[in-house]
Structure formats: structure tokens, C-alpha cells
Amino acid sequence: MTVNHDWATRTASAKEWVVEDVAAGTFRVDRTTLVDSAVYEREMASVFARCWLYVGHESEIPRPGDFRARDVGNRPLIFWHGHDGVRRVLYNTCRHRGALVCRVPEGNARGMSCFYHAWTYASTGALNGVPGDEGYGEHFDREGMGLLSPPRVDSYRGFHFVCFDPDAVDLKTYLAGAAEYIDLVADQADDLEVVPGVHEYSMDANWKLFVENSLDGYHLLPLHKTYFTYLEQHEGNTLDRNDATEAVDLGNGHAVIRVHGPWARPVARWAPALGEHNRPGIEAKYQELVERYGPERAEMIGHTDRNLLVFPNLIINDIMGIVIRTITPTSAGHTKIYQWSLATAGEDPDLRARRLDSYIAFQGPAGLATPDDLEACEACQAGLRTAPDVAWSDISRGMHREHTGQPSLASDELQMRAFWRRWQSLLD
């Protein structure tokens, strides 16, 4: 549901939408920000056109010619491994009349031809074929008519990003403290790969609701009761609300929650769901981490569960397995979600199957948790029809800890506040 209050929001300052009162211990967000189409348009210009956005992992295009078509910030892109050995991100639009050049989600190609007028492009993006090019005369600039790239393209530890703002800070600076948590993912194995296949689903709710949900430790036990009952009955594992948890503001809008949960971690923490025959191998992997990084870092890599937000819309769930999730708004009241599983290349097929079963059971779009999350977000969006009368959402949980120097818990809302503060600063 989208409400358009153009009269109120086109000139409103974002300072009026996010109101923090430290003395009172309150942090409130104007619900207009979750329903108004004018706010959505401002977000696309001020957030998605200015921030670094995730495109894909290097393992998805390992061979020359491999490509993936991606929508990033509502711009169609091609993530393509050129035959010159360079991985590129190219705008998926023909330089002639604008048609999509790549119209399939993935594959391998030395070149691509636009179906409309058959302009053809090499895997480097160069224009190498124009039917009847004599019709353009001697001054036609073939070299200048190749597929273009976004102004900023870079990668960190195999994760490739783009930024549509040529004046943006470099990627490493942008990642700030989130880089450390990407390191904890990348250090799990020398040869991580995205498992073939992608989950794509959508919800009739604002994208920021799903960002919040992806970092929210407060909802786990009440909302996902079915999943935790299943864990207890079938695997003997329970999640205790008092387990060691933490929420951390990583700067630039990035945040993470950490928890020692009941889940198996195929890289380093064995549990019965992974099969007794896989136990020696998993425990040996953990010892390799200890030998390589020391016991403290090995504990962080292998035994600590994490949900990481790379602002604005990349979530890396490093729990029972590694899940990469992008959250893409298509309107004020509709959102697309794409997610992939990242795993150790060449791992035992049985362990891979058990890893994926665990991931799908919890985070798959038809699993025991994700449908709960989508229903919760859509229920919030339905309730937000009252925004003209019930104007504010409260995101104050744990502020007394945040502002007195105490560690924040994963069930607090520090991580959401980090997101909203950065959002506010970009829209002002």
C-alpha cells in the first residue's frame, strides 16, 4: 500500500522524520517514511544512487565469458567475466536505442547481440558489430559506443560492488567496520563459492521494514516459534534469550548482531543435524582455523553467528551457513529480495546437502522462518495505513545501554538506529 502525501514530504526535512531524545531515552521514526511514494523517490536519488551496492561474488563468474544479469538500485547491469580476464560490471542497455542487451539471468558468452537491431558487444563491453554500419558515415565512433560501466566499480574479498556516484568515497572507506565482518566470512575457507541457484521473492511492504527485520534479534522467539520447536524436537537444540548476544554499530549505517546460537555451522561447529560421519572433518576444519588465526579469532570465525548489514540493502547472514541477501525496493510498498548461499568449494556432497537443507529450512522463502518475516513486514505495512493518525514507530529498545557505554544486546534496537541515522543524514 502506498500513500502519497506529496504536499507534506517533497519539502520536508529528514530531521523531522527521525527524532532522537537521548535524555528521554526515545528514538522515533515518522511512519510517513514507510508509506510515501515521494520519500521513495528521494531514497532512490539520495541513497541508492550514492551508496556502494552489492552486485555479485567473484565465484559466480569464474571463467571468461561467464555472466550474471543483475538489477542493482533498480538499474539493469551485467556482471561479466571478459575474455581479457577482467571481471566487469556493465550497464545492461544497448547504446543504440536502449533495449536490454542481456535478457537471460546467466550464462557464458563471448559476445551479446541486442535483439532489436543486432548491435553486438564483446565480453569486454566493446561494440564489435553494427549491421549496415555504412549507414553511419565516416565519423561514426565505434570505439566510443561500447557498453558503459557505472562510475565506481570495486571489490573486497571477492564481493563486487558498484556506486553510481563518481564522487563517492572508495569502497574500503565506505565499508568501515563492516569490512572486518566480511573478513570473518572470507577467512572461513580459501575457496568459497556461491552455490548455483538463487531465491527470488517479494513482499508488499517497504524495503526498510525488511532491513530492520533482518537485524532484529527481538522477534526471533515469538515470531519463529515453529522453527525453534522443530529444532528442539528434532535436534535437541534450543535458543535461550539470555545467550551471549551483542549488537554493534559499524559506522556509515552498517551494523551487526552476534549470537552464540543453537545452529550447526558446517565450517567449524558440528551438530547432530550434520551427521556423525561428518563430525571428524568439521572438527578438523576448526583446528585448522585455530592453527591459522589463533583460538580467539577462530572462535569468532567458526562459532559466532552473525547477521551483518552493509548499508543500505546487503545482508550477510552467517549462521547455519552463509547467506547473501539483497533487499531492493521497487516502490514505497513493494520490495524484491534475492538471496544466495555461499559455501566451501569442493566440500563433501553430503555435507553440502545438509548445509543447504539447514539453510532452506530456516531462510528459504518456503522455510520455517522467512514466511513469518514476510508476513510480519506485510502486517506492519497494513497497519501503517493509520500513519495519518498514529504517526510514529518506536525504535528505543536498549537506548539506556547504548548511551551509558554498556554493550547492546542483539534484542536491542541499536542496529536499527544505526541504519536510520545514516538514512536520515543522506536524505537531508
Return the C-alpha cell found at 20: 532522537
- Please tell me the predicted confidence (pLDDT) of residue 254: 98
Dihedral, 421, 425, 427, 428 alpha carbons, nearest 10: 130
Look at residues 199, 411, 203 and name the one whose alpha carbon lies nearest to residue 323: 199
Question: What domains does the chain contain, in order, with CATH numbers?
Answer: 53-167 (2.102.10.10), 178-427 (3.90.380.10)
192-194 and 26-30 beta bridge pairing: unpaired
Give the per-residue pLDDT at 6: 44
Question: What was the pLDDT predicted at 343?
Answer: 94
Which grid cell sits at 80? 561479466
CA atoms of 193 and 60, how far apart (whole Å)? 7
Cβ within 8 Å of residue 372, ≥6 positions away? 223, 224, 226, 227
Cα–Cα distance measured from residue 290 to residue 301, given in angstroms and rounded to the nearest whole number: 10
pTM of the model: 0.93
Q: What cell numbers appear for 82 in the block? A: 571478459
For residues 267 and 302, the answer to whether their CB atoms sit within 8 Å is yes
Confidence (pLDDT) at 5: 46
> 273-297 pLDDT, tens per residue?
888 999 999 999 999 999 999 999 9
Q: What residues in the chain have per-residue pLDDT under 50? A: 1-11
| Segment 86-133, tens digit of pLDDT | 999 999 999 999 999 999 999 999 999 999 999 999 999 999 999 988
